[in-house]
Amino acid sequence: MARILIQTDDRRTLLDEGDIEVADLHDAPLRSALFERIGRALQDAGGPPASRRPAARRVAVILPAVDYREVGA
């Protein structure tokens, strides 16, 4: 398995995707969701540190680990 980790120069972790498999890239919805998360992390890396940003409202969904791939679909 592979892991994708995106950190800023000051070591803020913006994305930590573990257990990435090649098969994930063959599935269009999974691939699209992964690239979207990577893109958001890269955009966040170019912005000010999180402590200086206004608080963003986010919706969180907690699923069992076996169902995590269905969140982005």
Tell me: pLDDT of 67 over 80: no
CB distance 49 to 10 below 8 Å: yes
Pick from 38, 40, 33: which is nearest to 72 by CA? 33
Helix (H/G/I), strand (E/B), else coil: 1: coil
Which residues on neighbouring strands pair with residue 30, listed in sequence order? none
> pTM above 0.85?
no
pLDDT band at 73 (very low <50, low <70, confident <90, very high): very low
CB distance 37 to 15 below 8 Å: yes
The string of pLDDT tens digits covering residues 17-29 is 888 888 878 888 8
Identity at 46, one-letter amino acid code = G
